[in-house]
Amino acid sequence: MNFLILDPSVNNIGFAILTITNGKPAVLKDGTIYPDSELSIQQKAEYVFASLQKFNSLRDCYQTIMEYPTFMGGTKGLIAAQKGYTIDLGVMVGYLSGLLAPQMPDDVFYYTPMQWKGTKPKSATIAHLKRMFPSFRPHSEHSADAVDLGLYHFRKMKYIKG
């Protein structure tokens, strides 16, 4: 089974395609999609969707797993909320969900950052991925987050142990 995992932001989307074979996860593809910053949120979502289709990333995927935006507090979260990025991100996630849902045989699953990573720093995410997949080198921090989000989902759904 293949899974599409998305770590969205207003300016780019980290993605990963993971698979599970005999209870063992593997990374098939990862990357980051950078829509033009001048595009509207709707146009950015459509660009991301079209990019994923170009990679043939949707064809064999069973589920989509996506980070859902939430106010994280702290300086970074406060600035994002004041600038309207949290709302924009919610619109992006909703619009992408509407485009992706008809492509998948199963539901779209959503997790907030606090659910799947808590306050874990990026360095801990990268270290965890190196332990899980010794030869894997993520294309970006966003794609690393997408892979780690996928692993969280797999554990939660009991597709893998641990």
The pLDDT tens digits for 66-118 are 998 876 666 666 666 676 678 888 899 999 999 998 888 888 899 998 899 98
State how far the Cα of 61 lies from the Cα of 119, in Å rounded to an integer.
29
User: Residue 124 in 3-state DSSP?
Assistant: helix
Which of 44 and 70 is assigned the larger pLDDT?
Answer: 44
Q: What is the pLDDT of residues 116-156, one digit of tens each?
A: 998 888 899 999 999 999 999 999 999 999 999 999 999 99
- Label residue 160 exposed, middle or buried (CB < 10 Å: 0-12, 13-18, 19+): middle
Which of 138 and 60 is assigned the larger pLDDT?
Answer: 138
Instruction: Give the count of beta carbons closer than 10 Å to the beta carbon of residue 22.
Output: 4
pLDDT of residue 94: 92
State how far the Cα of 53 lies from the Cα of 101, in Å rounded to an integer.
13
pLDDT of residue 65: 95
- DSSP 3-state helix, strand, coil percentages of the chain (rounded to 5)? 45, 25, 30
- The domain limits of the chain are 2-156
Name residue, tokens 């991301």.
Answer: 48
Q: What is the pLDDT of residues 6-36, one digit of tens each?
A: 999 888 999 999 999 999 999 999 999 999 9
Topology adopted by domain 2-156: Nucleotidyltransferase; domain 5 (3.30.420)
pLDDT of residue 130: 94
State how far the Cα of 152 lies from the Cα of 70, in Å rounded to an integer.
18
pLDDT of residue 10: 84
pLDDT of residue 71: 64
How many residues in total does the chain contain? 162
List of residues 6+ apart from 10 with CB closer than 8 A: 41, 44, 85, 88, 89, 92
